[in-house]
């Protein structure tokens, strides 16, 4: 697999087998998706985290199918090499497998995505099986699953007790057996994530799950320092774009107020 060839699901499986780490980030629009793709990221997730960092909701729960299809269409137009995965929003896949098929199909048909992601283990296994059987690849998501935030009562670490850890291991096995091509592990102890990773033949993608996963994902607006409302310990900031933007906007406003913008050269 050369650095420039299109990322496919078999490519990701081969990366796991070769011990090559998989890079993943989120995008919600064409422009950022294009930049991530040009930088060589393997998987671009149109996350329902966009409900928080793009739309300003307090959780991902209000996000709708129509909003996610809109974002997915924009992102997929910006992506050339990466695998484009669309996140299924709350209530778009939990009610009945046939509704999940219809909604997941929209992401491929209208959104241009190549796969979907959904949250949960055993309770969604039948749906994962149905989707993969008809050719819609599914990425699973276990651990701190944000659509269950009302049940959890907060964003705390999952899988800390023996019971929770056993349930996560079982759910990971069930998702793999149901056909999931990869599994996101969010905010669980590093040892547990490493153990699950070693037990599976499909890649795990960690977020707050330590270095033992086959790949890592972050919310792009977090790692670029654009989203400032809260910052979990697992987020490493690679830029402070919020300050860059504020400073640039202040400089522009000053120039407009002082009359130094536009200059003669910037006028017709
Ligand atoms: O919605 C999202 O961005 C996600 C990732 C953080 C895994 O689910």
Q: Is the CB of 171 under 6 A from ligand 1?
A: no
Question: Is 186 among the catalytic positions?
Answer: yes
Structure token digits, residue 7: 């990322």
Q: Is residue 192 part of a domain?
A: yes
In a domain, 170, yes or no: yes
- What's this model's pTM, rounded to 2 decimal places? 0.97
Q: Which atom of ligand 1 is nearest to the CA of 205?
A: 7
Indicate whether 191 and 252 sit together in one domain.
no
Statement to judge: residues 153 and 268 lie in one domain: no
For residues 227 and 117, membership in a common domain is answered with yes
Q: Is 2 a domain residue?
A: no
CA 235 – CA 217 distance, rounded (Å): 10
Digitized pLDDT (tens) for each residue of the chain, 268 residues in all: 556 799 999 999 999 999 999 999 999 999 999 999 999 999 999 999 999 999 999 999 999 999 999 999 999 999 999 999 999 999 999 999 999 999 999 999 999 999 999 999 999 999 999 999 999 999 999 999 999 999 999 999 999 999 999 999 999 999 999 999 999 999 999 999 999 999 999 999 999 999 999 999 999 999 999 999 988 999 999 999 999 999 999 999 999 999 999 999 999 9
Over residues 187-220, the pLDDT tens digits come to 999 999 999 999 999 999 999 999 999 999 999 9
Give the mutation target among 117, 188, 232 for probing the ligand 1 site: most ligand atoms within 8 A of CB: 117
**Is residue 199 a part of any domain in this protein?**
yes
Same domain, yes or no: 211 and 87: yes
Query: If you measure from the C-alpha of residue 47 to the centroid of ligand 1, how many angstroms do you get, rounded to a whole number?
Result: 5
207 CB less than 6 Å from ligand 1? yes
Compute the distance between CA of residue 26 and CA of residue 33 in angstroms, rounded to an integer: 8
Catalytic choice (186, 254, 265, 266): 186
Distance CA 245, CA 204 (A): 34
Asked if residue 45 and residue 132 are part of one domain, the reply reads yes
Q: Using CA atoms, how far apart are residues 63 and 117, in angstroms rounded to an integer?
A: 14
Going from the Cα of 259 to the center of ligand 1, the distance in angstroms, rounded, reads 44
Question: Residue 49: which CATH number?
Answer: 3.20.20.60
Tell which one of 26, 36, 53 to mutate to probe ligand 1, the residue whose CB is within 8 A of the most ligand atoms.
26
The predicted structure's pLDDT at residue 93: 98
Same domain, 233 and 255: no
The answer to whether the CB of 43 is under 6 A from ligand 1 is no
Q: Are residues 135 and 248 in the same domain?
A: no
Closest residue by CA, ligand 1 atom 8 = 47
Q: Report which secondary-structure segment, H or E, holds 65.
A: helix 65-78
Percent of the chain clearing pLDDT 90 (strictly above) = 97
Say whether both 50 and 171 belong to one domain: yes
Q: How far does the centroid of ligand 1 lie from the alpha carbon of residue 71, in Å?
A: 14
Distance CA 39, CA 129 (A): 33
Is the distance from CB of 67 to CB of 86 less than 8 angstroms? no
Residues 76-90, buried b or exposed e (16+ Cβ, 10 A)?
bebbeebbbbbbbbb
Tell me the torsion sign for CA atoms 37, 235, 115, 169: positive
User: Same structural domain for residues 196 and 255?
Assistant: no
Indicate if ligand 1 lies below 6 Å from the C-beta of 184: yes
How many domains are contained in the chain? Answer: 2
- Locate 144 and state its tokens: 């701190």
Determine if ligand 1 sits within 6 Å of the CB of residue 217: yes
C-alpha–C-alpha distance, residues 189 and 176, integer Å: 20
For residues 122 and 246, membership in a common domain is answered with: no
Nearest-CA neighbor of 20 among 1, 35, 6?
1
Q: Is there a single domain that holds both residue 13 and residue 137?
A: yes
Task: With respect to residue 1, please indicate whether it lies within any of the assigned structural domains.
Answer: no
- Ligand 1 contacts CB of residue 85 (under 6 A): no
In a domain, residue 110? The reply is yes
* Ligand 1 centroid distance, CA of 49 (Å): 6
Same-domain status, 233 and 246? no
Q: Is there a domain that residue 3 lies in?
A: no
CA distance 72 to 21: 25
Domain of residue 248, residue span? 241-268
């Amino acid at each position: 697999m050369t650095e420039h060839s299109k990322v496919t699901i078999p490519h990701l499986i081969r990366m796991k087998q070769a011990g090559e780490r998989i890079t993943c980030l989120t995008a919600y629009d064409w422009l950022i998706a294009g930049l991530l793709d040009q930088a060589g990221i393997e998987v671009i997730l149109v996350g329902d985290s966009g409900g928080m960092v793009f739309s300003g909701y307090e959780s991902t729960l209000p996000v709708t199918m129509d909003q996610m299809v809109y974002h997915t269409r924009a992102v997929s137009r910006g992506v050339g090499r990466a695998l484009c995965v669309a996140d299924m929003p709350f209530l778009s896949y939990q009610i009945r497998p046939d509704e999940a098929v219809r909604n997941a199909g929209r992401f491929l048909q209208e959104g241009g995505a190549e796969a979907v992601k959904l949250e949960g283990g055993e309770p969604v296994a039948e749906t994962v099986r149905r989707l993969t059987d008809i050719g819609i690849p599914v990425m699973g998501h276990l651990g701190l699953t944000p659509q269950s935030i009302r049940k959890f009562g907060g964003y705390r670490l999952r899988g800390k007790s023996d019971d929770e850890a056993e349930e996560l291991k079982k759910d990971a096995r069930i998702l793999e057996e149901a056909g999931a091509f990869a599994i996101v592990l969010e905010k669980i102890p590093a040892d547990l994530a490493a153990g699950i990773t070693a037990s599976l033949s499909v890649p795990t993608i960690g977020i707050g799950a330590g270095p033992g996963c086959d790949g890592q994902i972050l919310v792009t607006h977090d790692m670029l320092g654009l989203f400032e409302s809260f910052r979990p310990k697992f987020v490493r900031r690679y830029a402070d774009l919020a300050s860059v933007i504020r400073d640039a906007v202040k400089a522009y406003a000053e120039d407009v107020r002082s009359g130094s913008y536009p200059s003669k050269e910037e006028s017709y």
